[in-house]
Chain A
């Protein structure tokens, strides 16, 4: 396989067969918490993508110099620094969204996807493939968040990105927003539905005992 097709595979695999949320079941808690509306879901997805991409890149650049005995600490310092930077930038430029995300931006640091990619990939691979792997995994996470955010905001509030999309005539005909969609448990159910659809289409994902 040529290098570029390998890199392409690194990028696309997390969208489907190696998706961090639906296949590896990582990063679930933030997926449940920030997906009431579409906008915070997008911002959270992009933030995680930036952190996975750059922490992978930095750790991969440093991988020959990191003493194995303190490698987890080094990884944590790099991730924490990037998360603080992302948090500060959000607070300065998209204050309203940063308020909705509240503690979850800080909690990106505990997102298993990031440490998982650093340990499994960046510590053993060259910088460029590591960066691509980070972007791919972050994007795989973002896609699921956006799907959940889209469903919950549409059915729960009748709007998308804050704009009303359900026509007034629907409400007059008796349509009602589903208040339950706003509650966190519904995010879990939506994730479950996505996993169900995915596994029916790709039977190789099903565990066999």
Chain B
């Protein structure tokens, strides 16, 4: 076997590392705009799903422009904050801030029947990683119009079912206020839940921790908008 000097080994590895780093940096820079676009389209698809408008990657932007007529940011006192782009707000970063500094996005959609629905972002923890989604409320800011949930790595067939429409449909029509003033959120319960119960849905058998995470996520994110509901409900 050929012998190589230490100098050769050092030079060889240095050149290799520099060449590889340059190539990868170049590729990452070139592909970044396309990747960002994909992430943006996915976000729009999720927002549309929460107002029960199914969108493909191709028509998501067109449908988003059609249905989402306004978006703005509010703070925890329910007042509008100017100068922040709602679409660009990262909920993960906002939730780690102190409550008063949080920027909370609201997307206003105009539905086919001319009424408004208000889409609010959610973010929480599942069993294996983060779960997130959007929830849309009718103009009474109490009744759920639609939801969309997504997850990073919940168990397929169990916790991952939160992403499926058969499960998400259970949330439609539920109410987050008990009477007009008491915020109760939505409970995700074990066993058979009376479909007439306005504040509870079935959990997923075998997906208890994901179900609990979902309940906590909905509660902790929707409660942030409490003042906003009081100010804006019609």
Contact = CB atoms under 8 A, between A and B. Distances in A.
Interface of A: 36, 64-70, 73-74, 77-78, 81, 84-85, 88-89, 91-93, 95-96, 102, 179, 182-183
Interface string B148-168: 000011001100000000000
B16 A88 contact: no
B24 A81 contact: yes
Interface stretch (B7-15, B85-93, B138-146, B182-190): B7-15
A69 B8 CA distance: 12
Contacts of A95: 35, 38-39, 41-42, 57
Contact of B24 (A66, A69, A84, A102): A84
Interface residues of B, number: 26
A69 B4 CA distance: 9
B196 interface: no
Interface of B: 1-2, 4, 8-9, 12-13, 16-17, 20, 23-24, 27-28, 31, 34-35, 38-39, 41-42, 57, 152-153, 156-157
Nearest to B156: A182
B40 to A, nearest CB: 11
A93 B156 CA distance: 25
A88 B35 contact: yes
A91 B31 contact: yes
A91 B41 CA distance: 13
Contact of B13 (A73, A84, A91, A96): A73
Contacts of A73: 13
B34 A92 contact: yes
Contact of A77 (B8, B20, B35, B41): B20
B50 to A, nearest CB: 19
Nearest to A80: B20
A91 B152 CA distance: 15
A59 B89 CA distance: 45
A162 B106 CA distance: 34
B57 to A, nearest CB: 7
B164 to A, nearest CB: 12
Contact of A70 (B9, B38, B152): B9
A69 B9 contact: yes
Nearest to B31: A92
A67 B9 CA distance: 7
B16 A85 contact: no
Given A67-B8, A67-B12, A69-B9, A85 B157 contact: no
Contact of B31 (A70, A88, A102): A88
